Chains A and B, each alone.
Chain A
Amino acid sequence: MDGAGGENWPAAIHQVLARYRVTQVGYVPDAGHAALIRMVDADPSMQGVVLTTEEEGMALATGAWLGGGRGALLMQSSGVGNCINMLSLIKTCRVPFLTIVTMRGEWGEFNPWQIPMGNATEAALGLMDLQVLRAGTAAEVGPMVEGAARLAYDGGAGVAVLLSQWLIGAKEFSE
């Protein structure tokens, strides 16, 4: 099911990550992030790190920053629930942190198992004191991620940008 996407919003995110000199991009493989993951892996200025679970991403970003690098995390909304205690690293040590979250469990969702965590994603991140932004259309993605990156890496904040399912397009399964 096509949503509001269409423009090359993954490239817009990749350009922001490169411009902000992000060096380590952790990810748990996700269909919504597939194009961006390919761009990250093809870019010699940053290292993609495939994770077994999203919570590894906060620890990776903390280590990257301790060593003078910059970390970001790509994940799906269902992974946000895995991160809660690890987000204490970001808050307790005031680590600059940016995560880009593809949403499931909202517009066009066919899988009921995705809905509980999708509903709780924004509140869960907010409970752990991340700033949460949301992009609903492809044209919003570049400027939204740009501002989020500045907030994270210049402002020293923990920031999440949610990419709505309306933007990404709903996953289809044929019976």
Chain B
Amino acid sequence: MTPFGRRGAVARLLERRGDALVVTGLGTPTWDVAAAGDTDANFYLWGAMGAAAMVGLGLAMAQPNRRVVVVTGDGEMLMGLGSLATIAVAAPQNLVIAVLNNRLYGETGGQPSHADGVTDLVAVAQGAGIADARRIGSAEALEGLADEIGNPGRGPVFADIPVTDGGEARVLPSRDGPWLARRFRAGLALQN
């Protein structure tokens, strides 16, 4: 299939997110999620490469009644592959990991990633023990995943979303970690 334009794919993915909580992996996925609409239910990583899925796990376990969506890239996911095994064992039903897979390291000069025709991230996730690991191969499948984000079902879900970059403008959210974290907590009515 033709890969999705990344920004449109993220906008459609989060269009009906309801009260879902979103964690982004550093780099372009952070800009994509910010472009889809900044909200205090978003927590953006600007560093700690490889952390996104595990931040999602901790959040999903702490908020079992909320859908938690990790939106990250193939390079960021590759740095934390072990976390897929950790997530498979912990098995949080409310966690969705969505990998925007452009098969390259977009923020560092476009070097091909391991996912460029070699490493199959869906197979890795399945092999790690995440039974519902899928490649989003059609607009209908993307809409289906968006519905699942709005209406929590059984997880964890791993979704590889093939995307291309189209020279989208950088949409930069705040990079003030304490502020982002405390805004997020305040949105959950937690005392800071």
**Could you tell me which A residues sit within 8 Å of B by CB distance?**
23-24, 47, 49-53, 55-56, 58-69, 71, 85-86, 88-89, 92-95
Q: How many residue pairs bridge A and B at CB < 8 Å? A: 117
CA–CA, A171 and B29, complex, Å = 46
* Structural contact, A63 and B177, CB atoms closer than 8 A: no
Q: How many residues of B contact A (CB 8 A)?
A: 35
* Structural contact, A63 and B23, CB atoms closer than 8 A: yes
Distance in angstroms from A55 CB to nearest chain B CB is: 7
Chain B residues touching A, majority SS: helix
* Structural contact, B55 and A62, CB atoms closer than 8 A: yes
* Structural contact, B58 and A88, CB atoms closer than 8 A: no
Query: Given contacts A64-B59, A66-B184, A68-B188, are A59 and B178 in contact (CB under 8 A)?
Result: no
Q: Please, which residue of chain B has its CB at the minimum distance from the CB of A53?
A: B82
| B169 CB contacts on chain A under 8 angstroms | none
* Structural contact, B90 and A93, CB atoms closer than 8 A: no
Distance in angstroms from A68 CB to nearest chain B CB is: 5
| A94 CB contacts on chain B under 8 angstroms | 177-178, 181
| A58 CB contacts on chain B under 8 angstroms | 48, 51
Selected from B52, B58, B83, the residue in CB contact (under 8 A) with A61 is: B58
CA–CA, A108 and B92, complex, Å = 41
CA–CA, A67 and B47, complex, Å = 20
Query: Given contacts A49-B86, A51-B86, A56-B80, are A66 and B47 in contact (CB under 8 A)?
Result: no
Determine if B118 is an interface residue (Cβ-Cβ < 8 Å).
no
Query: Given contacts A60-B57, A66-B43, A66-B185, are A23 and B62 in contact (CB under 8 A)?
Result: yes
A-contact bits for B165-192, CB 8 A (1 contact / 0 none): 0000000000001101100110010100
Query: Given contacts A52-B82, A66-B181, are A89 and B58 in contact (CB under 8 A)?
Result: no
* Structural contact, A63 and B62, CB atoms closer than 8 A: yes
| B43 CB contacts on chain A under 8 angstroms | 66
Determine if B49 is an interface residue (Cβ-Cβ < 8 Å).
yes
Selected from B48, B57, B58, B180, the residue in CB contact (under 8 A) with A86 is: B48
| A56 CB contacts on chain B under 8 angstroms | 54, 80, 82-83, 86
* Structural contact, B58 and A59, CB atoms closer than 8 A: yes
Distance in angstroms from B165 CB to nearest chain A CB is: 26
| A64 CB contacts on chain B under 8 angstroms | 58-59, 61-62
Determine if B75 is an interface residue (Cβ-Cβ < 8 Å).
no
The 3 closest A-B pairs by CB, nearest first: A63-B58, A67-B62, A52-B82
| B10 CB contacts on chain A under 8 angstroms | none
Q: Please, which residue of chain A has its CB at the minimum distance from the CB of B66?
A: A67
| A85 CB contacts on chain B under 8 angstroms | 47-49
Query: Given contacts A52-B85, A55-B50, A60-B54, are A67 and B63 in contact (CB under 8 A)?
Result: yes
